[in-house]
């Protein structure tokens, strides 16, 4: 067990909010801010579109926080969600589904899932449970599937058996076409919206040839798609202009979105997205909007060259609410609900892979107003994070750890 104690830094400058609308989206107390947490030079000398879009001032949690390693016996866990009884359902990249108790006991691998391609960035990815899980025991998950022409991001569902040893009647309900000869950029997160439909993030599969498909309305790559639990386009989806536009599309122009979450107050969809060399993003996702990749970006090619026309703004393309340069490699995200830790209420928590920390973003009126890095001395790649039924945060790492994070 390790205890991490964070105190507010007393600084002379106090953060003031510019409330431009009537919707106050965060009732947590204002906090004093210090210098930005990022001190390394950016990769690109691009100017943000607005003040506070990057390198916002730092905040510190005043409450004494305890971070406990619940177990280190997982194998490359990728997705985590809570069961109604407080236990945690966890995917492992290699294709296994397991249940963990909050005391650290692990089930064996649950059988019945379709095979995954676990090469590269593929495998058994994000998951969620049905809102009526107690009655129907249905679960939904994303995985990388081998098909003719390569691999693709697939969505499946099935019933967790009463004895919790197998998934019954596992069925693939959606495939994000076209397939690509790639084992990268699957996206891979899934959750239910307030209407009982599924929101799924898909990547543009990384290849230079598939990258432009994130802008194509006839391809499901680099998108948020919204479907029913039977895999059909959800009623009320936006209509995109262009012939043969896919009816399941919800938003377009994404690169590799590995985190999605609904704001506890507004119900808005928020998304984390891997950039290339720089340009990791947090986006507030609006139905029918285009988030610009690869036309606009705050990042560079991995070799340092500019991407496309090297522009960061264009009419009709949405700006990220926040971006990082250098990258932190943001993966799974969750909002903190409730006031058990008052200064965390409605804050966004982001698992950082390359950054090896959990990033806390204070959001007010749809703007990031403070940032904190937690558990950075653990030297772990944080893959996903969720809030448990006990209101603690639970985070998984590529190294096989499950953490419980709560006040002491």
**Using one digit for the tens of pLDDT, what is the confidence trace for 139-165?**
999 999 999 999 999 999 999 999 999
392 and 404 Cβ atoms separated by less than 8 Å: yes
- Is 185 an active-site residue? yes
Any residues with CB less than 8 A from the CB of 186 and at least 6 apart, and which? Answer: 121, 122, 125, 142, 144, 151, 153, 202, 203, 205, 256
State the burial class of residue 191 (Cβ atoms within 10 Å of its Cβ: 0-12, 13-18, 19+).
Answer: middle
Quick one: pLDDT at residue 31? 78
Give 1's pLDDT tier (boundaries 50, 70, 90): very low
Does residue 10 have a pLDDT over 80? no
**Which of 16, 185, 263, 274 is labelled catalytic?**
185
State the burial class of residue 134 (Cβ atoms within 10 Å of its Cβ: 0-12, 13-18, 19+).
Answer: exposed
**Using one digit for the tens of pLDDT, what is the confidence trace for 328-380?**
999 999 999 988 999 999 999 999 999 999 999 999 999 999 999 999 999 99
Task: Measure the CA–CA gap between 359 and 382, rounded to whole angstroms.
Answer: 10
Does residue 289 have a pLDDT over 80? yes
Does residue 21 have a pLDDT over 70? no
Quick one: pLDDT at residue 27? 53
Neighbours of 98 (CB within 10 A): 18
**Using one digit for the tens of pLDDT, what is the confidence trace for 50-81?**
999 999 999 999 999 999 999 999 999 999 99
**Using one digit for the tens of pLDDT, what is the confidence trace for 76-122?**
999 999 999 999 999 999 999 999 999 999 999 999 999 999 999 99
Which single residue is written with the structure tokens 């698992």?
351
**Percent of the residues in the chain that have a pLDDT greater than 90, as a whole number:** 91
Quick one: pLDDT at residue 402? 98
User: Which whole number is the average pLDDT over 392-402?
Assistant: 98
Q: Residue 135 phi/psi, 5° resolution?
A: -90, -40
**Structural domain spans, the chain:** 36-407
- Which of 11-15, 35-39, 232-236, 274-278 comes out lowest in average pLDDT? 11-15
Quick one: pLDDT at residue 309? 97
- CA distances, 110 to each of 92, 162, 171, 172, 270 (Å): 11, 12, 16, 17, 31
CATH of region 36-407, choose from 2.120.10.30, 3.20.20.105, 1.20.140.10, 3.30.360.10: 2.120.10.30
Does residue 260 have a pLDDT over 60? yes
Q: What is the token pair recorded at 252? A: 């377009």
């Amino acid at each position: 067990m390790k205890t991490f104690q964070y105190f507010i830094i007393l600084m002379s400058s106090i953060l003031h909010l510019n409330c431009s609308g009537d919707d106050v989206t965060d009732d947590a107390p204002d906090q004093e801010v210090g210098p930005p947490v990022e001190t390394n030079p950016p990769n690109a000398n691009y100017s943000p579109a607005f003040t506070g879009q990057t390198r916002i001032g730092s905040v510190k949690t005043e409450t004494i926080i305890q971070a406990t390693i619940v177990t280190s016996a997982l194998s490359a866990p990728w997705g985590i969600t809570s069961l109604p009884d407080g236990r945690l359902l966890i995917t492992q990249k290699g294709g296994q589904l397991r249940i963990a108790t909050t005391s650290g006991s692990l089930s064996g691998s649950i059988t019945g899932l379709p095979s995954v391609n676990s090469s590269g960035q593929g495998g058994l990815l994000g998951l969620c449970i049905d809102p009526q899980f107690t009655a129907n025991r249905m679960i939904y998950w994303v995985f990388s599937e081998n098909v003719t022409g390569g691999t693709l991001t697939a969505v499946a569902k099935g019933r967790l058996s009463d004895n919790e040893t197998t998934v019954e009647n596992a069925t693939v309900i959606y495939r994000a076409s076209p397939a690509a000869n790639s084992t990268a950029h699957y996206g891979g997160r899934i959750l239910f919206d307030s209407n009982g439909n599924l929101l799924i993030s898909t990547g543009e599969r990384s290849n230079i040839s598939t990258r432009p498909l994130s802008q194509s309305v006839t391809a499901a790559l680099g998108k948020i798609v919204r479907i029913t639990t039977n895999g059909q386009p959800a009623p009320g989806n936006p209509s995109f202009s262009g012939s043969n536009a896919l009816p399941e599309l919800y938003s377009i122009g994404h690169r590799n979105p590995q985190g999605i979450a609904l704001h506890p107050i507004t119900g808005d969809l928020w998304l984390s997205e891997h950039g290339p060399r720089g340009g990791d993003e947090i986006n507030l996702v609006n139905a029918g909007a285009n988030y610009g990749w690869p036309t606009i970006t705050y990042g560079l090619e991995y070799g340092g060259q500019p991407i496309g026309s090297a522009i960061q703004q264009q009419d009709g393309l949405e700006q990220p609410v926040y971006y990082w340069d250098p990258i932190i490699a943001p993966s799974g995200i969750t909002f903190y609900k409730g006031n058990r830790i008052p200064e965390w209420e409605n804050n966004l928590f982001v698992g950082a892979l390359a950054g090896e920390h959990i990033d806390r973003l204070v959001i007010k009126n749809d703007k990031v107003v403070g940032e904190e890095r937690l558990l950075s001395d653990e030297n772990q790649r944080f893959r996903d994070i969720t809030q448990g039924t006990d209101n603690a945060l639970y985070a998984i790492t590529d190294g096989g750890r499950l953490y419980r994070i709560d006040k002491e």
